[in-house]
Amino acid sequence: VRRHMKIEWSDPMWEDRVRVALGHPRHGWVQLAFMTAAFNQGVIVRCSDVFCPFPAAEAWLRRIKGGQLPARLLIDEEGPSKLLLACPLEADPSRFSFYVSADPYWSGDLTDDKDLLLKCKTDRLQFVRDFGSEVSRWLNEDWTPVLYGGRCDEGDEENHRRATYLTKLDFSALAAE
């Protein structure tokens, strides 16, 4: 977040769509990128298969979709963590404030934003559809179980479990709604 600019949070320049993208940087990891044109912000969250965030992310998106805000999602990057926080906008329940913080204990207090990596206001249902659509696309087109979630030997029961639990998540339903 640009610290040299003192633009009030009430300014409409903070409002924009959040783009979501997933990709494979290397074995056992997936990059989860959030980008917005609101002050040209972007952040990458490293998702580890050891602390896979996707089951919790599905539940988090369902809370956002249902308007059950604030909603927090903590993603453990095998050491550091990133907090994804969705907060209600009282003036417009169809929109919400979206934050990504490097401080897993951040309260949402904008006067203490030294660890804030991204902040914007965005449409609640559009965010859920975009996030759900991207995870669904990634699972169908790019996900390789041996690279994420299947590090054990072939034929190993643990390998099978880890390689199939993501297919049981229903991100496509979130994308379609």
Closest to 17 in 3D by CA, of 176, 133, 151: 133
Confidence of residue 50 (pLDDT cuts 50, 70, 90): confident
| Cα–Cα distance list, 19 to 139, 149, 158 (Å) | 17, 25, 34
- Where would I find the H helices in the chain? 54-65, 124-137, 157-164, 171-176
pLDDT band for position 169 (50/70/90)? confident
Cis link prior to 70 (omega < 30° from 0)? yes
Please compute the mean of the pLDDT values over residues 15-22 and round it to a whole number: 95
Which residues fall within 8 angstroms of residue 31, CB to CB, at 6 or more apart?
A: 21, 22, 23, 24, 25, 44, 45, 46, 47
The answer to whether residue 160 scores a pLDDT higher than 80 is no
Q: In this structure, are residues 102 and 113 in contact, taking their beta carbons and an 8 Å threshold?
A: no
Q: What is the pLDDT of residues 19-31, one digit of tens each?
A: 999 987 666 688 9
pLDDT beyond 70 at 45: yes
Question: pTM for the full model?
Answer: 0.87
pLDDT tier at 163 (50, 70, 90 boundaries)? low
Dihedral angle sign, alpha carbons of residues 104, 40, 125, 30: negative
Pair 124, 12: CB distance under 8 Å: no
CA distance linking residue 39 with residue 107, whole number of Å: 22
The tens digit of pLDDT for each residue in 54-104 reads 999 999 999 999 999 999 999 999 888 999 999 999 889 999 999 999 988
